[in-house]
Chains A and B, each alone.
Chain A
Amino acid sequence: KAGVTQTPRYLIKTRGQQVTLSCSPISGHRSVSWYQQTPGQGLQFLFEYFSETQRNKGNFPGRFSGRQFSNSRSEMNVSTLELGDSALYLCASSTPGTGGDEQYFGPGTRLTVT
């Protein structure tokens, strides 16, 4: 079974631009969560989608948004990029029945904002 895939793996953007990151969960997984990892703050929860609905949201500004498609693939978008948005963005998927606790992570997208 293929793991969680994220595209692109690396991205360089300029301040003020917007960016869209993509995540394909493990086949059969319907929950997709997004996390931001930075050296100073560690791993922080952005949001979680299940059956195309956002169920949970972390404490990030409205510039961070996401969506999930009917095939469970998910995208996250960051508008008006700031230097502080430079981070590793991780996507994780899980399946009902495990309580959503055992999340399986993709390799991440490394975003650099200049």
Chain B
Amino acid sequence: DQQVKQNSPSLSVQEGRISILNCDYTNSMFDYFLWYKKYPAEGPTFLISISSIKDKNEDGRFTVFLNKSAKHLSLHIVPSQPGDSAVYFCAANSGGSNYKLTFGKGTLLTVNP
């Protein structure tokens, strides 16, 4: 049973445009959500997170939106740059002392110059 789903295995956008990566979850106990970026031959790198008490969090070109009623979150990258090309993982945590992250299977983002 996949509790965190990223239904788009890949996404291709033009440089300068917006990239929108989507993630759905099923576990109502999740209360903290994170996005990680992963380049080949490297470990995932933390990008941005959001607590369930918020519906939006921004950090520079990256914004994460959370819709709790729909159990959906999205990552917006504006403007997209070729260096953003990587696999993006959505992850969720039920917080407290639970350090277990549940990951989606990832979306490969390609930003074309």
Contact = CB atoms under 8 A, between A and B. Distances in A.
Nearest to A103: B101
Contact of B101 (A4, A45, A106): A45
A102 B59 CA distance: 15
Q: How large is the interface on B (under 10, 10 to 19, 20 to 34, 35 or more residues)?
A: 20 to 34
Contacts of B98: 56, 100
B97 interface: yes
A16 interface: no
Helix, strand, loop or mixed for chain A's interface? strand
Contacts of B45: 105
A44 B101 CA distance: 8
Q: What is the interface of chain B mostly: helix, strand, loop, or mixed?
A: loop
Residue picked from B42, B43, B44, B102, most chain A C-beta under 10 Å: B43
B100 A42 contact: no
A92 B106 CA distance: 18
A56 B99 contact: yes
Interface string B69-113: 000000000000000000001010101111111111110000000
19 contacts: A33-B100, A33-B101, A43-B89, A43-B91, A43-B106, A44-B103, A50-B99, A92-B43, A99-B93, A100-B98, A100-B99, A101-B32, A102-B34, A102-B46, A102-B49, A105-B36, A106-B43, A107-B42, A107-B43
